[in-house]
């Protein structure tokens, strides 16, 4: 892949793990214009496995780009999701959560702390689709969501109970 027109970006990205090329490539593949703000937002998201909310992304990004508004961050995330750059994780009664992992995967959701943990499972990827859905609608992907209490929350409860 050639690197062409995005070297004008002046944000310091030294403390990110991903490289500029791969981030810009994600935007280009989605036919989105590569802008410094989009780059910064996507950088913040790609190495984040917390399925963050728009606000969580905004809090981090404004340290690097103080002039950016929450609205811009929010609109950019929606644009990313609409163009397949990222996914929206199921909202569990709260703010929308964003997921940079677009490969098929499933979620374990903790009902106590709202943590969403990614996992993969080949069987879950191929669960038979219900006919009453496939007859009427086009299915683009399937994802299993397991609800439960995560290890951290479980341990907390144990400690409180015993000590």
Binding-site ranges for Zn ion (CB under 5 A): 99, 101, 110, 112-113, 115, 118, 150, 153
> Are residues 41 and 73 in contact, defined by beta-carbon separation less than 8 angstroms?
yes
Shorter beta-carbon distance to Zn ion: residue 64 or 115? 115
Shorter beta-carbon distance to Zn ion: residue 34 or 150? 150
Q: How far is the CB of 1 from Zn ion (least distance, A)?
A: 26
Shorter beta-carbon distance to Zn ion: residue 62 or 115? 115
Q: How far is the CB of 82 from Zn ion (least distance, A)?
A: 18
Shorter beta-carbon distance to Zn ion: residue 6 or 108? 108
CB atoms within 10 A of CB 59: 14
Q: How far is the CB of 132 from Zn ion (least distance, A)?
A: 27
Q: How far is the CB of 154 from Zn ion (least distance, A)?
A: 8
Which of 68-72's residues contact partners 24+ apart within 8 Å by CB, and which partners?
68/37, 68/40, 72/37
What SS3 state is found at 159? helix
CA diameter of the chain: 61
> Are residues 85 and 112 in contact, defined by beta-carbon separation less than 8 angstroms?
no
| Cα torsion 68, 70, 75, 78: sign | positive
């Amino acid at each position: 892949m050639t690197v062409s027109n995005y070297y004008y970006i002046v944000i310091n990205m030294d403390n990110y793990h991903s490289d500029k090329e791969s981030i810009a490539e994600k935007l280009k593949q989605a036919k989105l214009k590569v802008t410094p703000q989009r780059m910064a937002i996507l950088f913040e998201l790609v190495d984040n496995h917390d399925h963050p909310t728009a606000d969580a992304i905004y809090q981090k990004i404004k340290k690097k780009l103080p002039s950016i508004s929450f609205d811009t961050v929010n609109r950019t995330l929606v644009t990313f999701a609409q163009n397949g750059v990222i996914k929206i994780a199921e909202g569990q009664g709260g703010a929308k959560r964003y997921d940079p992992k677009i490969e098929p995967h499933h979620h374990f959701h903790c009902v106590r702390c709202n943590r969403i943990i990614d996992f993969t499972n080949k069987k879950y990827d191929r669960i038979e689709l219900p006919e009453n859905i496939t007859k009427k609608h086009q299915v683009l992907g399937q994802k299993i969501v397991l609800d439960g209490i995560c290890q951290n929350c479980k341990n907390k409860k144990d400690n409180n109970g015993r000590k």
